[in-house]
Amino acid sequence: MYACLIRALSASRSNTSSDSDHLGMDFDLSDEQHLLKESARRFVNERCTFDAWQRWRAAGQSPGEALWAEFAAMGWLQLPFAQEDGGFDAGPVETMLLVEELGRGLMAEPFLQSVVLTGELLRRSPASAQRSARIAQVGQGRCRVAVAHAESAARYRLDAVATQARRQGSTWRISGCKNVVLGAAKANALIVSAATDQGISLFWVDSQTQGVALHAYPTVDGVGGADIRFVDVAVSDSALVGELGQGVELMHAAGARALAAMGAEAVGLMDLLLEQTVAYTSQRRQFGQPVARFQALRHRMVDMFMQAEQTRSLVYLATIRLLEDHPETAKALSALKVQIGKGGRFVSQQAVQLHGGMGMSDEIVVGHAFKRLLALDAQLGNVDHHLQRFASLSA
């Protein structure tokens, strides 16, 4: 199905684009990509059963956190980095294949934060000893990173940063507040955006640095967030991630990679919900037959399937655009994010309703997948934000 849809989307693009826009690329999966997808699915099925998932969550761990060392051993934490940095130089397609399978196991965090988002920020940074050391720490699983960028007044704007970084001699002093920093409570380091005289810049800050005050709280999907106050936090020039004033550009690039990966996770979650719903309605009997035979319920499950496939198609389109650095990449990503919100809500609600009252209980996986899709809708811009963005890009 993957190859067929990719060919259809590629053909559609070639019919509407100039010859100079079309790169003539072959989107059939390579042997290595097939191996990555199959090994990821096998790993999720064997190592992340729902019983194991519940035990980890009861112990205060996310599944991704519990299996982080194994992620490193599989080489997944090194995917986005270049070979000269000890990575596999993987692109958006490989990330999509892996994250979709992780989504099926409810274990995509903290991979999205520490590897996809942080990895792109580091990958685009100029070569230095500090950059190499940070990439090695992330790739070997010795460091989990949270990106501290959102602020209460920003409303998803990347250029709205009130946090300040002032230079004093050879030291930078960072002061300000960041909100809803996902995974911050268990992160070893933070990448913090702050306004400087040269523009918004990014700084690498150790979580235990003096002046970092963190207030952690649970989020609806169980990942956990934190509000962080930085009070005259001192860092050196080596803490810079990227060039001075390059923060917004870097966050746009990293956010694009993260949006595509979130779409892949949403597809995995929707597939999981549809699979669970079909299985449950095939087992539950009423009036002497499985309720899955009732025409009204079959129509609802077909609608769930169609929403999942629409999301999958938009993930493929956005991934292709991202891979080719196409001028309409931003539009494709905003269209995908709108579908994540609307399609994810529809599939989740149908799954819960067709499971009855137990759909939102902690004892089955459906309610947890519902909450994760709800959380994805709010990250990196909600439906309203991306509808407005799409309209402005289309004007």
From CA 184, how far away is CA 328, in angstroms rounded?
33
At 12 the pLDDT is 40
The answer on 184 and 139 residing in a single domain is: no
**Residue with the two structure tokens 């994250």:** 99
- Beta-ladder partners of 195: 164, 200
At 307 the pLDDT is 97
The answer on 259 and 233 residing in a single domain is: no
The widest CA-to-CA distance across the chain, in whole angstroms, is: 80
Domain end (from 244, 276, 306): 244
The answer on 252 and 384 residing in a single domain is: yes
**Prediction pTM value:** 0.90
Residues whose CB is less than 8 angstroms from the CB of residue 89 and which lie 6 or more positions away in sequence, other chains included: 81, 82, 83
The answer on 74 and 10 residing in a single domain is: yes
The answer on 291 and 167 residing in a single domain is: no
Residue 167 corresponds to which tokens in the numbers above?
A: 């230079």
Query: What domain range is 200 assigned to?
Result: 146-244
The answer on 340 and 223 residing in a single domain is: no
The total number of structural domains that make up the chain: 3
Pairing label, strands 199-206, 212-217: unpaired
- Under-50 pLDDT residues of the chain: 1-26
The model's pLDDT over 246-255, given as tens digits with 9 standing for 90+, comes to: 999 999 999 9
Closest CA to 113 of 211, 227, 254: 254
The answer on 373 and 312 residing in a single domain is: yes
Domain end (from 115, 144, 173): 144
Alpha helices in 166-324 (DSSP H): 247-283, 295-324
The model's pLDDT over 172-214, given as tens digits with 9 standing for 90+, comes to: 999 999 999 999 999 999 999 999 999 999 999 999 999 999 9
CB 182 within 8 A of CB 228: no
Domain end (from 176, 211, 244): 244
